Amino acid sequence: MALPEPLTKAIDSYNTWSEEQLLAQQTATAVDTTLYHYTNAVGLKGILESQTIWFTDYRDLNDPSELVHGIEMCGEVIRGLSSGSDQRVVEFLDIVKRLMSQKNFAGRLDFFIASFSRARDDLGQWRAYADDGRGFALGLSPDLFAVQEKRGKQPDDNLFVGPVVYHPG
């Protein structure tokens, strides 16, 4: 059964808007300097042998606060949009807010993360990811982070490169 035309148009309009927003954000935050990936000896060996940096399923991150932070930021945006909005918009945003929970993400959304740092020598990174200072900080060229546009993308082919911002200015 086909979706009603107004709903199809709304979905298409949202998809266009969303792609434009992501492209604008990615362009504004394009990587233009060396980024560093902190790892231990086993990780370095794997990277060199496979010539690949593996991304981690977000459910297996050693710091779940990153996902919680993203969900909290979404809640802040929803609260801001709700203020002074039409009742239908407020009801819709309330539904979105209830959907945005760590429980709802698990098993429903698959995304993978690799972390890099602008800092060449960061004590916290050395301790947490580079074997407590006995590991390595691989310097990677900005060219490696350029996103290549793909024609005929599939829904699971989405790729976004951008900074994690904990305290927007």
Other Cβ atoms less than 10 A from the Cβ of 116: the count is 20
pLDDT at 34 over 90: yes
| pLDDT number for residue 81 | 85
| pLDDT number for residue 48 | 95
Q: What are phi and psi of 156, to 5 degrees?
A: -90, 10
| pLDDT number for residue 86 | 85
**CB half-sphere exposure, 146, CA atoms < 13 A:** 5
Q: Please tell me the least confidently modeled range out of 48-57, 74-83, 108-117.
A: 108-117
Provide the whole-model pTM: 0.69
| Calpha distance 34→124 (Å, rounded) | 18
| pLDDT number for residue 127 | 94
Q: What are phi and psi of 160, to 5 degrees?
A: -140, 130
**Percentage helix, strand, coil for the chain under 3-state DSSP, each rounded to 5:** 55, 10, 40
**Which are the contacts of 93, defined by CB distance < 8 A and separation ≥ 6?**
78, 81, 82, 85
52 closest CA partner among 131, 122, 114: 114
| Calpha distance 94→160 (Å, rounded) | 27
70's tokens: 């993203």
pLDDT at 99 over 60: yes
In order, the DSSP letters of 22-90 are HHHHHHHT---S-EEEEE-HHHHHHHHHHT--PPEEGGG-S-THHHHHHHHHHHHHHHHHHTT--HHHH
Place of tokens 């991150």: 61
Other Cβ atoms less than 10 A from the Cβ of 129: the count is 20
pLDDT at 26 over 90: no
